[in-house]
Amino acid sequence: ANKLGSKKERTLALIKPDVVTKIGDVLELIYSSNLIVTKAKMTKLTWSQATDFYLEHQSKPFFNNLVQFVSSGPVVAMELMGDEAMSIWRRLLGPTDSAVARREAPQSVRAQFGTDGVKNVGHGSDSFAAAARELEFFFPSTIGHGPSNTALYTDC
Ligand code: RTP
Ligand code: MG
């Protein structure tokens, strides 16, 4: 942390296919939370890429639905930066299930724009290790080998 105690972090925010056409609304909420977009890319994941991205959920009952959904149309991957970017973005998203989000966090992104437990607008990294892996997944380093995003925590 710097003199003012701020902790600038970077995190991956993935806008899922259900709301790619409403990305402006999501960006307004991101900017309102004092996060900035430092990288962005629209892409379409193949089944195999979606499987890689969500490998940690391989054994879950919803895995096939999730992979099918996230590879069903374009997604927008963004690197967000700001104080506590990881937890701020996940709080902005709200509870995983959009219906729960509408009950418990009506201002959240999933409450406002989500459909259900799978079509739930977005993904956010849940740890520094996940952020490093997920940023490298969408924004691979072009120089050298291995992750370039080791400086996820900077003093600025
Ligand atoms: P995310 O990883 O996407 O940021 O969401 P999360 O941490 O809130 O939720 P997680 O448990 O990691 O689940 C990853 C994604 O899988 C889909 N899902 N479907 N019961 C279900 O049908 C179910 N549970 C999870 C969602 O798209 C969720 O975001
Ligand atoms: Mg998760």
Here the CATH number for the domain that contains residue 74 is 3.30.70.141
96 is in an annotated binding site: yes
Domain count, the chain: 1
Predicted structure pTM score = 0.89
According to the model, what pLDDT value does residue 142 have? Answer: 74
- Closest to 11 measured CA to CA, from 103, 148, 132: 132
Query: Does the ipTM surpass 0.85?
Result: yes
Question: Catalytic residue numbers?
Answer: 123
Residue 94 pLDDT more than 80?
A: yes
Residue 16 known to bind ligand: yes
In a domain, 6, yes or no: no
Q: Give me ligand 1 centre to Cα 41, in Å.
A: 22
Q: What is the pLDDT of residue 7?
A: 79
**Is 85 a member of any domain?**
yes
The helix/strand/coil state of 115 is: coil
Average pLDDT of the residues in 28-46: 97
Is the CB of residue 120 below 6 angstroms from any atom belonging to ligand 1?
A: yes
Write out the residue range of the structural domain in which residue 62 sits: 11-140
Q: What is the mean pLDDT of the chain?
A: 92
The CA-atom distances, in angstroms, between 69 and each of 2, 47, 72, 93, 105 are 41, 10, 5, 18, 24
Domain-embedded: residue 105? yes
